[in-house]
Structure 1
Amino acid sequence: MKHSILYCLAAASLALSFFFDYAPDSSLTAGSAPIAATASLFPDFSGDNPTVATTRDSLAYHYYSQTLGLTLAYNEDQNLLRTVTDWIGTPYRYGSNSKKGTDCSGFVTRVFQEVYGVTLQRSSRSMFERVKRVAKDEIQSGDLVFFRRGPGQPIYHVGIYLQDGKFAHSACNGGVMISSLNQPYYHRNYYAAGRVAAN
């Protein structure tokens, strides 16, 4: 029902926009004011107009901010934000890396392939062996964050840092989601961060 109402409103808006569109008559002399102004309920997102492009970007950033729970400066990597957003809610499935289900390392490998064109190792431990270590207070968007259950224990989990202390990952108790490094569980089990070198 909700979608039907939206479709009807969109159709009505489209129909009304035809009544308000105006093509100036070529016979009008220069400097003459047009009789009617062009008006449309649908914005032109052709990309030719920098103002329109900025508006489109602002709307996209606002959407990612709301969806991912981040405070954005509107200059972040939109491709990363869009890709992570597309994966949110994917169920957890051990050993898989598709939108039907994915584990933590599967999610990370797919995002890095889609966003950066980088092929990562399939396990979190193998990933850790090939990254450049980064101090916790120097983590940047796109860095990997690794977790283990105590000193001497193997790495068992990996996620992609976004910002504000938040990271995207596939958790066995909820699938792909955004969590905070400040949550007690992740704060306690945080091990290290690493930066992936470009291919």
Structure 2
Amino acid sequence: MLKKILIIVSALILAACSNTSGTLRKHTSITEQQDDMQLTILGNDLKTNNSVAYKQLTQVYNKWVGTRYRMGGTGRNGIDCSAFMQETFATAFGMDLPRSTSEQKYVGKRIQKNELKQGDLVFFRKNRHVGVYMGNGRFMHSSSSQGVTISSLSEDYWARTYTQSRRVL
């Protein structure tokens, strides 16, 4: 029974930008005290990752998790994907990114999907959506349906709409 519940919850979490209903799920931060269910939802691989980039990205995630998506938004009352990347890179790495995805898609060096490292930008939907790679096939972003969340690159929607990756660090 617990396994079925975890599968259903995981499927709902990974649905991310596939709709724009505006409904937010309850978000949880990534902490050392996560219970088994949260670990299953977020993936054990995220908790055990000890790189400096991962720790910096996790700090940003914990601050912003649950913040709703708002087109053109730049703050805690709502933030869009490109503003969230701008905030993430400024906070985690002291780096200034341009404000829009149309500008961010040219920053750094284009890389192949199989070369992804933590801190690389990942783009979707003809470069109209952007997130940051966390490692282990997962990326952090501001989703129109989930707000600030972590999703899997292998989830059908993201795999189908993936456009490019860029190394900016």
Describe the SS at the equivalent of 2:119: coil
8 Å CA contact retained: 1:70, 1:163: no
Give 1:124's aligned residue. Answer: 101
Q: Which residue of 2 aligns with 1:96?
A: 73
**Which residue of structure 1 lines up, in the alignment, with residue 22 of structure 2?**
none
Q: What's the TM-score, normalizing by structure 1?
A: 0.61
1:189 Cα deviation after fit: 0.3
Determine if contact 2:72/2:79 at 8 Å carries over to the other structure.
yes
Q: Whose RCO is larger (CA < 8 A, sep 6+)?
A: 2
How far, CA to CA, are the matches of 2:79 and 2:95 in structure 1? Answer: 18
SS of the aligned residue for 1:80 comes to helix
Partner of 1:196: 168
Q: Percent identity?
A: 38
Measured at CA, do residues 170 and 138 of structure 1 come closer, stay the same or move farther in structure 2, by a change above 3 Å?
same
Q: How many residues align?
A: 133
Shift of residue 180 of structure 1? 0.7
Q: Does 1:85 align with 2:57?
A: no
Cα distance in 2, alignment partners of residues 181 and 70 from structure 1: 16
- Matching residue within 65, 87, 92 for 1:115: 92
Give the match for residue 138 of structure 1: 115
User: For each residue in 1:66-105, what CA deviation from the matched residue of structure 2 results, as whole angstroms up to 9, or x when unmatched?
Assistant: 4843514442222221111221110011101211110000
Q: Which runs of structure 1 show a deviation greater than 6 angstroms over 4 or more consecutive aligned residues?
A: none
Paired position in structure 2 for 1:105: 82
Shift in Å at residue 164 of structure 1?
Answer: 1.5
Secondary structure of the structure 2 residue equivalent to 1:83: helix
Structure 2 gaps, min length 5: 1-29
Q: What code does the residue aligned with 2:154 have?
A: N
| Letter aligned with residue 152 of structure 2 | S
**Match status 1:174 vs 2:143:** no
Distance 2:117 2:94 in 1: 18
Show the 5 A alignment for 1:2-151.
61=32, 63=34, 66=39, 68-71=42-45, 72-77=47-52, 78-148=55-125
RMSD between aligned alpha carbons?
2.1
Query: Structure 2 length as normaliser, TM-score?
Result: 0.71
Aligned match of 1:164: 136
Deviation at 1:61, TM superposition (A): 5.0
**Using the alignment, how far apart are the partners of 1:97 and 1:161 within structure 2?**
20
Alpha-carbon contact 1:79-1:115 (below 8 Å) kept: yes
